[in-house]
Amino acid sequence: MGSSALTGTFRILHVSTGNVCRSPITERLTRHALRDRLGERPQAWGTQGLIVESAGTWGHEGAPMEANAAAVLADFGADASGFTGRELLDEHVIRADLVLTATRDHRAQVISMGHSAGLRTFTLKEFTRLVRAIDPATLPDPLDDGMVERARALVRAAAALRGWLLAPSAEADEVFDPYGAPITFFRSIGGEIQAALDPVVTALTGIPAHRS
């Protein structure tokens, strides 16, 4: 459990390699999806206690996100502004209540840092697969118990399922690196990330996405 468990917040950390492509896309799409579910009102956003961040195992400290990554976010109507890359540090892992990585290698790197991170670190697609198998009725009600308690229970349930619900293939839990690729590949990766995030954010909030 991250240190934020003591402060009434729930901190989600997205991890990739350079923190300029995959994890910025995932961070900003997560924030966008949460706002879609919870509304734009600052008080609603602030009191839910969900904090979304990202970093890279070889993070380009202070770098902007890749232009193609920003373009993908614009496609989804998500905000790319004000982003700067970060190198993954011990303090990021210590504070995180849920770490979602792009690949299994990133997951292994986070867990190897220690800080009892194993039970709260998953690849994004792995976590999605596990979340889909969890009955939402078994989770705390976000209105009665708060979104933070629901999020903590979701992570515990996913960790308990991990040994029982295996990936259909080694690649099934990976989000491949689009760095240096054309915008078409970035858009494909963005679509994969969005599809993986949708059930996760629904499970976290108890609110399905608004469909047009």
Select from 119, 151, 126, 146 the least CA-distant residue to 136. 151
Q: What angle do CA 167, 96, 119 make, to 5 degrees?
A: 40
CA distances (Å), 123 to each of 27, 39, 102, 107, in order? Answer: 14, 27, 6, 6
pLDDT at res. 44: 41
pLDDT at res. 7: 55
Select from 205, 171, 154, 173 the least CA-distant residue to 30. 205
pLDDT at res. 48: 67
Residues in the chain with pLDDT values less than 70: 1-7, 40-48, 211-212
Length of the chain: 212
Please provide the DSSP assignment of 16-80 as one string: ESSSSSHHHHHHHHHHHHHHHHH-S-HHHHHHT-EEEEEEETT--TTPPPPHHHHHHHHHTT---
pLDDT at res. 146: 87
pLDDT at res. 211: 63
Q: Per residue in 108-160, pLDDT tens?
A: 999 999 999 999 999 999 999 999 999 999 999 988 888 899 999 999 999 99
pLDDT at res. 40: 54
